[in-house]
Structure 1
Amino acid sequence: MDSENQQRYQPSIALACLPVGNIHFSGCRNQCNSRNDSTDHSASEILKLLRSGQVLMVNSRRRNGLILYKGFHAEFAGPGAAVGSFYDRDCDWALPVGNLSLLTPETHEERQKAYLIRRQWIRLIKQITEKSQPQQRVQKILEQFEQYFDSQTVSQIPDEAFARLVGVLPQTANTVRSAARILEDID
């Protein structure tokens, strides 16, 4: 059974398997437009894939995902989630999180499962945004990401990405993150 799964997951998108967890987002904490060149290249290539109309899914066997910037908000597509196709044609920017790997679902069942998982990720973010206080929303999304990704990966995600995910200003995300760092230093 394992060899059958390995064969099914072999056709991963080579470009999207670039190790992106170590990219330093210099100057990207407060403005989405100031990205470094290596981030621009991989993210713009991923964006082309998303807009191609092809259904892809985030590899469920890795701690990885995509933050998809859309208009005035962002969505997170975590492990197992479908990306691309009609879902993401309106995507303005794609921010890879972790060591991103995108796969092509081989069967209708895999595609259906990936769509269901994408919907679960959307519901998780929706639950977080239902908190009334902006600081609580930022704190909760940070807790969710820190439970799943290592602290170095989470620290590289810009404030604007977290802010767009939960519907707050980037300054609010920055304030909550700064307070958390101060508390960590005290401990």
Structure 2
Amino acid sequence: MALKATIYKANLQIADMDRNVYGDHGVTIARHPSETDERMMIRLLAFALNVPADNDNGALDFAKDLWDTDEPALWQKDLTDQIVQWIDVGQPDEKRMMRASPRAERVAVYAFSASSPIWWNGVATKITRAENLKVWLIPAEQSQALAALAQRTMQLQVTIQDGHVWIGDGADSVEITPQPLYGAA
């Protein structure tokens, strides 16, 4: 018998001063049985960093990346079903990133584990044709601190300013500084 996803619910109060995006977002996250708290929370972070100011050009949604290899972790599709944003987390291979590039207006990758620098050294020279790709590194100690905030029901305040992200749950707070690796200067 296959294991089922665990459902997490989060209410994000986002104040993104870098993009002038503010609002409350209630999200439901289906956590795959093989997914860690760390990866799930990076998906939540990617949501907060990329959520559009309004849904006029489609909503940003969690996709089925661990269930369906043709889908990213998150994506935004416009009203004609064209992919506006394709967002992966972890360490996708260069073929996946290059396949996503022509399918979407913007592609972003958020790498987060201690082995990410080794992964990046292996793929950096193979993705130079992807002009719409941005790759970010979340330092491992920061992503692990973010994982400690994971609960089945979360109330999180997210503040983004000058490239720094503060995420708090009322009791604890984590500062995250995504480091640009490619296309995100």
**TM-score interval w.r.t. the shorter chain?**
under 0.3
- Say which structure is richer in strand: 2
Q: TM-score, normalised by structure 2?
A: 0.27
- Say which structure is richer in helix: 1
Greater Rg, structure 1 or structure 2? 1
